[in-house]
Structure 1
Amino acid sequence: MSNQANWEQAEPGVKRRIFPPGKSIMMMEVHFEEGAEGYAHSHPHEQLTYCIKGEFEFTIDGEAHILKPGETIFIPSGATHGAKALQAGAIIDTFTPLRDDLLKR
């Protein structure tokens, strides 16, 4: 199976590429321009995010968390969450189960 993925615009200043999934887990790489936001949302999937570079403020159910390179943050199923890039940067998001809403567009 190929590991190639195409870049797409997610929100203003935010682009992502979704990698081919496994049977019950998937991941994507997301790049943010400084000040760009991943808007607040929720989904039934568990999410683990790893910061490659930059600095981010994640808000999870109203609580702010700073994420820096080499750090991870866990987002529970159903939690309302969003992120703002305090510096230009990149993260890896991993989800389980599969996010069919992202895969079947």
Structure 2
Amino acid sequence: MKLGDWQQINELIRRKVFPPGEQIMSMLVDFKKGGTGPEHSHPHEQLGFVASGKIKITIAGVEHVLVAGEQIHVPSDQPHFVVALEDSLVLETFTPLREDLLNS
């Protein structure tokens, strides 16, 4: 798998990790309704922009519902998870680089 190719995560989620800059990177996540990103945290600062659809993201126990055209900030080291309330396309941006995603 190379950067820029779609990766199927499971039957409800696929992602496309784009070639990075020096300290910033992005990926596109395509969720089918009901797709869930499990709770996790990482030292990277993150922005999530909903290009289409509707998601519920929980950050450090606080729920946020976002629709197309809205963006959220996920601070470093905060536990978070997402549930797609509709088929959704989300652009996620990280800094610094997430080597785990670049090497997957």
Call closer, same or farther: CA 1:21–1:39 in 2, change over 3 Å.
same
Stretches of structure 1 that go unaligned for 5 or more consecutive residues are none
What is the aligned length?
102
Residue 88 (str. 1) matches residue 87 (str. 2): yes
Deviations 1:22-68 (A, max 9, x none): 00000000000001101110000000010000100000011100011
Equivalent residues in 2 for 1:1-105, closer than 5 Å: 5-105=4-104
RMSD in angstroms over aligned alpha carbons? 1.1
What's the TM-score, normalizing by structure 1?
A: 0.93
The residue identity in structure 2 corresponding to 1:58 is I
CA distance in 2, matches of 1:87, 1:46: 25
1:12 Cα shift?
A: 4.0
TM-score of the superposed pair, with normalisation by structure 2: 0.94
Gaps of 5+ in 2: none
Runs (4 or more) in structure 1 with deviation over 2 Å come to none
TM-aligned CA deviation for residue 10 of structure 1 = 2.4
